[in-house]
Structure formats: structure tokens, C-alpha cells
Chain A
């Protein structure tokens, strides 16, 4: 069994912020001597006061950031089973690929003829993503999943305006959906309408059939859904929406469950986004960058953003902006290219056989872990086998001991583990959403499930241990209400007296 990897307190408070380290006259920078005449900006454009940036030596900077990194937990530290985030191990080969000078040194506006390798890479990646999802064409421009959602919704708008003269008004979204779905719907100019789940955790198809009408522009759905369950009636769901002329959007958050087994296009979806930082293991970077390519079926291709990558008859590649029906530009340039290089490396390293196995082992790991903890943390929807993630509930434990899901999460931290997502999805009481991913070994899952069982046993014998947790970390539970009430958002803001 693999033990946890705790992030421990580093002892007495550290060195404060970079500003506290600053000493007038210290510096890290160096530039070559200026080899032309120096010029100053015109007087009325000059800065009147030097910016308050820190003055530190390079050694100070490195030790400071190294210390900060020691107060952080990443996938390279240990299992990171955040549900819906697919925190899988990121192969290092992708870093080597992205750092190649031929990619890193490329200006986004240099002529196509000097960027053939980059364009070919994007073209091949687009084809591969279309094959994996069953779409006709894709844009690689959206820099994250939420931006992909908005891209899809703007494509829906353009489609309805072109075919029906009106963009329509409503987007249907399951009540278990991620918050970006309704937020994107509003930014797309739509009203979000919730569709209820059944007591089996699936879309209520009868309720859906009641809700659809000619004002529905489309439905947004993941499959497997946010509860980790496969929507078995998906063909009927997409039929119902298509029946009123609506489109169906696939949120790719959960694509890691189905690669090589089934495809959104085959289920009847019209628009698909993919999170490369989830499914294709591009590192999450502490919160980003990601990439959110969007694929569409044939009849929606005219609306895809520009520029697009086209291959000419002579085999050359070019960026094309001459697409009159396009929704336009979703990103300043071509999207998060260096992230897409990593995604390409992942997809073609794994290949058709490897990607299928990724999904198989992701599902196996989730089922194995769900079974190992179910006595203490039963599945919220026990009737169906989960796919690549599952939602358990701490509600029985809470009733028995008063210990809540958040307390369990904080105790896991003391035991050396990153907790799962808690209190999401909102439709499950005391939810714990767990996604181990395929890159965790059996030993790692055994260690994590034992930690959860330990926490549950402690909740019964010594609940204070959980209420007080974590106690071993660089800081303990933080006063979030105070943070929001008494804003200190920069080192200039006065701490005040609370």
C-alpha cells in the first residue's frame, strides 16, 4: 500500500512576501550594455514614481518560491482525486515536446509558410479529436473548457439565427451540472433552465420532454453525467431536443470515461468540447492553463471560429479567415498552442489502443475505490455502476457523528492526501465526488481508501480530531468570511484589526 505524502508545516512563519524580502539596491536582473543611443520618453508620458516592485537577489527569489512550492500539493506529490477535474499524472515527455525551440520561438503572426510544422500539428490534432469524439471539424482556439462552452453556445446562436431567423431564448441544463454551464449560457445570451434528475441520478426524460419547446436553443450535458453515471437514455434525450430543432452540447469534462468505447457524435451530440488538461493530461498549472477545443457536426462547420487550419491540395497548411458565417475570434491568437502540443504528444503517444485502455482503467479505478469505501461513504446513487468517477455521501456519517464531508476532507489532509471534491454536485447531500483517474496504482487507491476508512473510524471515536483538522499543515483552517469582509488583495492593503 502506498502511503500519503503530507504537506507539513515548515515551522515558524517564513519570510513573508517578496516585499518583505526587498532591500533597496539589491537586484537579480542583467541586460547587455545598450548598444545604441539611449532615449527617454517625452516628459508628459513618463512615470512619475518608480513601481513598488521587490528588490531581491536571484537567490532570494529562488529560496522564496522553493519554500512556497513546499507548501503546495500537486499530482506529482500524490493522488489528487478531485471529482470532475481528471487530475491524472502528466507525462514528462510532453514538457520536452512543448519546449522545443521550433514551437516555443514561433511568433503567432508569422507567415504560414514559416510555420508549417505548427499548422500541421494543429491539423493532425484536430483530426484526432474529431475521431475520438465523432465530430466533423473542430476549433482549437478556446483556451479553457468554459470558453469552449461559450464557443459552442455562440455557434448555436449563429445556427438558429441562420436557419430560423432567431437565436431562441433557452438553454436546458441538468440541475447537477457544473456552474460554468449556466454562466456560459448567460454569456451566450440565453436563459438557463434546470432539468431535474431522477432518483437514479439520471436526466428525467419525461420532465425534459415536457420542458422542450421551440424556444429551446439547446441542451448542455456531460455523459457520463456529473454524478459519474452513464445516461442510458441518451439517444432518446438527444432525439427529444432535436425534435424541436434544438442542438445538444457535450461538455467534455467526463470524456476520460469513454474513449474508444463510445463517442458523443454517435450518441447524437452536435457540439463537443474537450478539456485537454483533463483527458489529455496537460498539467493543470495551479489553476491553468488548459485548452478547450470544440468539435461540431458537419452542418455546423461554417460557424466555427476563425482562423481555421486548412490543408491545400499541394499538402501545405494555411490559416483561413475567409469564412463569412463564422462566429469570429474566441482568442487573441490560435489558442493555448503549447498546451495543444502537449495534448498532441499525449494522444499520439497513447494511440488508439492506449486511449481506450486509459478509459478502461479510469473506470476500473473508480469502481474499485467506490467499493472499498462504500461501507462508510455509500454511493449517492447505488443502483448503477459508476464510470470514471463517483459521488459518495458522508450524510450517514454526519447523522451518526456530526462530522461533515468537509471535516473528512480536512482530516484526509493530515493523513497526507488531497481530498476529493466536496459539496458538489449540489443535488447530493454531503457530497464527496471522487475521481482517482487511471494513473493511480492499486497500492495508491488502497492507501487512499484506508485513509478514508480511518477518518470514518475516528469520526466515531474522536470526532474532535476531524473538526480540528488539519493540524499538520503550514496553516490550519482559514477564516474565509473575514477574507471576503475585510479585503486584503495586495500587500498594499492594511491588515487592520479584524
Chain B
């Protein structure tokens, strides 16, 4: 059984054509002491049926779907992915191609990325977008690098930014030479010094709460710093976009558009900014141009920013990105259109509001941020450690949320997407009531 198409005769003829007497001859450059003198310690190859049986058995050990109704969020969400997304994004002419280095053979991917960039700008009301980054957390890292390219060094992070985002910044900051610092906005004051490159605010924040982004923007701008907003793209049918909130750079986890939760990846790093920052932007950017006959066409552009041209002076090291996820997002966003996106936002917000009301009716369950408006997520304080409650809820078929131990032992972040029904929310409420009784 051989997966490659070679017959034994092919191999003989090809060896003869290169004047080798055996395959071993082709590996003669490898010095003897370095040769592996045993088979790799892995099982022998198997049939398709066997490997899929193995994977099926692994998949069945995970508890998902109706067995564990998902109210978890904190950066990954159980949104509905319409059938059309993968029927189209999965077309193999797109799916099995690579970075469009030869634009004449790649107009499909290039135009789709141009449309993606266009829709990200329509969503955010910013001027320019790149063609995707790895995920929301690494998009934040790249946006901070953009801001620091202006010469200033310090990076201030608002208290509502997801700790996973801050951890990721801290890791990359070790190489780039900064340590993300808390903005100290817990008490409502926003002080930005004149050596600050960027202020990072997440809206809606990690607890689901809506922030007053304009006050962060204004404070950053008064100090000559840039405002980076981490946004939730599913909110932008109803919530004011980063451009209206005076953000300079906006980044997001784009997973909800086209991607299942997939245990954390592959997701989609979205990044958009005001036009003046485009030459510091990381990653691939597609531009429209014309061919020798004057026909419209698309190319990778501003490549002088990139690692394959600029090497150690590049704005980023990114090469392989998440183009396929951007294609999926393009299809999903076009499926939604402006009205569908607004309806998506309205359904999430309304169901979250209903869930908030039901859960906080349970004795002992308190809102963590009473009176503060939220979008599709909110945080409650439970009378017992949130991880224990979460585990007890698993027994009842619910993934009740994501514990936020940094915000208190009983803090639980609950997310409600358009997929959740009133009945599921009611059953979640009953189960939590029982668990806490």
C-alpha cells in the first residue's frame, strides 16, 4: 500500500534516469554517523478506515454539542455557521492553493481577500485592513508592534482586557523589549504619560461589559499615544464600530465568522487601522491594480514591508497566515449582510439579557458589575468557587461559562449566542439553582 502514485516500475525507471542504483544512493550525502539505523518508533501505516476509526474514537471522548450546551465564551463562541460557508470556502481551487505569489493564477484568492479587507473596513469604519493574522491574541501583539514602530515604547492595558491577551503580549514583549503595564483604570481615571505608544482597551471587555471607548481614545490621543481597540465583530451590526469610537487600530478574534470552535484554532486575527498606519501594518495586504491590457486585477501589495523583501527590517515575520479563515469570514459576512449582522447582534444581546435576568434571580447569584450594560456576555458572582460549580454543571449537560478566578473565586463569565434557545436558558437556570441549592 503506497499513497504516492509511483509504481515499482516508475521507481526503477526514475532511478535509472538519475543514474542511481537504489534509493539509498540518493541519501549518500548523509554522513554515516547521522543516519537513523532503525525504523521510526511509530506504528506502521494503516488504511483510511482504520485511521478514521482511531480518530472517531478520540472524537467521541470529547463532550460537545447537545451533551454539553455551550454558554462558554471568553474569546471563542458557539455561533451558527451557515452551510454555504464551507460549501464555498472549501472549494479546492482555493483551499489547496498557497500564498498568491503568481497573481495571474490566483485571482480567486486575491479578489476574495480584497473583498474581505473591504468588509472589515465597512464593519470597523476604519480605512485599511490586512488579509488576516493568526488569531485575536496575536493580532493584538502585531497591533502593539505597529504602535511601537513610531518610536515610543510603553504599552498600557485597560483592566477589562482578557488576561489571555495580556499573557500573549507579555510573551512576545520579552523579545520586542516591553512589558505590558496596567492602565490603572479600575477607579475610572485614565492617565496616559507622554512616553506611551499605545493604550489597549477591549470593548465589550472580558467580562462582557461595554466600555466607554471614547474616553480611552481621548486620553490616549491627548498624550500622543495610539488607541488600540479589541472588538467583537459580531457586535458591529448594532454597536458603534471602532472608527466611530476614535480607535486608531482595531483588532479582533474573527472566529465567529465561519469557524466552529475547533478547540481554539484555526481562528482569524482581524486587524484594521487608519490609513496613515498602513505602511507599518503587518502581514499580507491585497491591492487592486490593472494588467497590461488595462483590466482590473489584484496583487499582493506593499510587499516592501514584508519579511521576504525586508528581512530583519520587516514590520512582522508573518508568512503563512489564515487566508482560508478570511475566505470563510467573507462568505459568512456576505450571507449576513447589514440586516443579518444586526439581527445576529440583536439576538445575542436579547438572549444574553434574558439569561442574565434568569440567572441573577437565583438566590446567591449576583451580577459582578451591577448596572453596567453588556452585549452577549456577562459575569456573575457565584456563592461557591466557579470552577466547582462549572464542573457540577457539566454533569447536568451544561458548559455554564468560563471561570474568571482573577476577578474573584465565584466569578463566572457566561456567553449567550444566537444558537441558544429560551428553553436552554431556562434549563440552565434550573440546573444552576439545583447545583447551588
Contact = CB atoms under 8 A, between A and B. Distances in A.
A252 interface: no
A438 B4 contact: yes
Contacts of B104: 7, 410, 413, 470, 473-478
Contacts, number: 701
A154 B175 contact: yes
A-B complex: 3 closest residue pairs judged by Cβ atoms:
A333-B264, A102-B59, A29-B340
A324 interface: no
B217 to A, nearest CB: 14
A441 interface: yes
A348 B170 contact: no
B263 interface: yes
B94 A74 contact: yes
Contacts of A39: 346, 349-350, 353
A479 B290 contact: yes
Interface in B318-342: 318-325, 327, 330-331, 333-342
Nearest to B342: A50
A476 B92 CA distance: 23
Contacts of A266: 34, 36
What is the interface residue range for chain B against chain A? Answer: 35 or more
A212 B397 CA distance: 60
B265 A331 contact: yes
A180 B319 CA distance: 7
Contacts of A82: 98, 101
Nearest to B76: A108
A97 B55 contact: yes
22 contacts: A13-B295, A29-B82, A29-B339, A31-B347, A71-B107, A101-B64, A115-B62, A117-B57, A145-B320, A146-B307, A187-B317, A262-B36, A328-B167, A332-B165, A335-B265, A351-B42, A385-B28, A413-B105, A484-B304, A489-B278, A490-B121, A491-B114
A13 B298 CA distance: 13
A331 B278 CA distance: 24
Given A17-B115, A46-B238, A363-B27, A349 B48 contact: yes
A90 B318 CA distance: 23
Contacts of B375: 41
B140 to A, nearest CB: 9
B40 to A, nearest CB: 4
Given A72-B107, A289-B325, A367-B20, A347 B42 contact: yes
Given A363-B27, A489-B286, A38 B103 contact: no
A214 interface: no
A285 B265 contact: no
Given A97-B51, A182-B311, A352 B17 contact: no
B278 A329 contact: no
B239 A47 contact: yes
Interface string A132-146: 100000000001111
A249 interface: no
Contact of B36 (A192, A260, A385): A260
Interface string A418-454: 1101001000000000000011111010000000000
A339 interface: yes
A118 B260 CA distance: 15
B17 A441 contact: no
With most chain B CB atoms within 10 A of its CB, the pick from A110, A356, A413, A421 is A110
A456 interface: no
A480 B100 CA distance: 13
The residue in B88, B136, B236, B334 that gathers the most chain A C-beta atoms within 10 A of its C-beta is B334
